[in-house]
């Protein structure tokens, strides 16, 4: 297989891989480095990719393994706040300042709850809900059985629900 084939397969995944890397690393610069290293490793090992298998899962697995061996991955239990410049732009419209504040605080609440999840729960949840991968694709990406995927998703959702309920009761 050629570099052109790699480019055709890999480039459409760039934004998705960056988003996943950003969620994992919780840092824009680290995410950029992770994606760059992922593409370098994938291109170098492209000859080992088996045609007919899931290329997307293969790329995500490389990204995940790169993250887990990075200095960010080793410190994964620490929660790092996202800089204010990473906050999403709020759309202009008929909203009032109050509704904008409520929506923004809900988004921040959800984002901090997701960031607080252990990495193995967070990655399964993000691959399922954000990247819209099937359980099979998640299993291939994380190199775990489908039953473990379902278990991690269930536990991640429960932990997220409990965390949000606790935070909402306090406010």
Give tens-digit pLDDT for 31-77. 999 999 999 999 999 988 888 889 999 999 999 888 888 765 554 44
Domains of the chain: 1-78 (1.10.1740.10), 95-171 (1.10.10.10)
Output the pLDDT for position 125.
92
Task: Find tokens 């960031």 and name the residue.
Answer: 115
- Work out the angle at residue 142's Cα, subtended by the Cα atoms of residues 57 and 3, and round it to the nearest 5 degrees: 35
Output the pLDDT for position 114.
87
Output the pLDDT for position 109.
81
Task: Find tokens 């473990």 and name the residue.
Answer: 148
Task: Find tokens 């919780």 and name the residue.
Answer: 26
* Dihedral angle, C-alpha 55, 57, 63, 68, nearest 10 °: -150
- Alpha carbons within 13 A on the beta-carbon side of 77: 0
Distance between CA atoms of 111 and 38, rounded to whole angstroms?
A: 25
Given a cut of 70, whether residue 89 has pLDDT beyond it is no
pLDDT band, very low/low/confident/very high, at 166 (cuts 50, 70, 90): confident
């Amino acid at each position: 297989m050629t570099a052109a084939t790699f480019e055709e397969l890999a480039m459409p995944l760039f934004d998705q891989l960056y988003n996943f890397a950003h969620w994992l690393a919780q840092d824009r610069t680290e995410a950029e480095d992770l994606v760059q290293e992922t593409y370098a490793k994938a291109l170098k090992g492209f000859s080992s990719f088996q045609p007919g298998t899931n290329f997307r899962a293969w790329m995500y697995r490389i990204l995940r393994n790169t993250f887990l061996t990075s200095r960010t991955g080793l410190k994964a239990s620490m929660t790092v706040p996202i800089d204010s410049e990473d906050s999403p732009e709020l759309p202009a419209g008929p909203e009032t300042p109050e509704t904008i504040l409520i929506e923004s605080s809900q988004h921040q609440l959800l984002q901090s709850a997701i960031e607080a999840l252990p990495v193995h729960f967070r990655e399964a949840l993000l691959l399922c809900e954000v990247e819209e991968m099937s359980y099979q694709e998640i299993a291939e990406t994380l190199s775990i059985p489908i039953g473990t995927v379902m278990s991690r998703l269930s536990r991640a959702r429960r932990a997220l629900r409990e965390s949000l309920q606790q935070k909402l009761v306090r406010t």
